Amino acid sequence: MIATSVVEVGRKVTAMKRYRARGYQRYQRKRSGSRMGSVLSLILILAGLALVGYFIIGATPFLRAAFPPSEGDEPAAVTDTSLKLTVPKMDRVQDLTVYTGPGDDESALGKGALHLQNTGFPWDQGSNVYIAGHRLGYLGTDSYLVFWDLDKLTQGDEVLLTAGDGTRYTYRVFDSFVVGPSDYQVTEPIPGKSILSLQTCTLPDYSDRMIVQAELMDVSA
Q: DSSP strand E in the chain: where?
A: 83-86, 96-101, 113-116, 128-132, 158-163, 168-179, 195-201, 209-220
Q: Summarize pLDDT for 16-42 with one digit per residue, the tens.
A: 545 455 555 555 555 555 555 554 555
Does an H or E element contain 10, and which? helix 2-53
Question: How many residues are listed for the chain in this entry?
Answer: 221
Residues 6+ apart with CB under 8 A from 110: 134, 137, 138, 141, 143
Q: Which CATH number fits domain 83-220: 3.10.20.10, 2.40.260.10, 1.10.3210.10, 3.90.950.20?
A: 2.40.260.10
d(CA 144, CA 63): 37
Cα torsion for 24, 30, 31, 32, to the nearest 10°? Answer: 110
Q: Summarize pLDDT for 81-93 with one digit per residue, the tens.
A: 899 999 999 999 9
Check pLDDT > 50 for residue 46: no
d(CA 12, CA 216): 104
Q: What pLDDT is stored for residue 25 in this prediction?
A: 58
Q: What pLDDT is stored for residue 103 in this prediction?
A: 87
pTM of the predicted structure, to 2 decimals = 0.65
d(CA 119, CA 177): 19
Q: What pLDDT is stored for residue 26 in this prediction?
A: 57
Q: What pLDDT is stored for residue 32 in this prediction?
A: 54
Identity of residue 176: S
Q: What pLDDT is stored for residue 200 in this prediction?
A: 96
Over residues 116-130, the mean pLDDT reads 96
Over residues 149-178, the mean pLDDT reads 97
Check pLDDT > 90 for residue 198: yes
Q: What pLDDT is stored for residue 221 in this prediction?
A: 87
Least-confidence region, from 15-19, 141-145, 155-159, 208-212: 15-19
Least-confidence region, from 1-15, 106-120, 194-208: 1-15
Residues above pLDDT 70, as percent of the chain: 65
153 or 52, which is more confident: 153
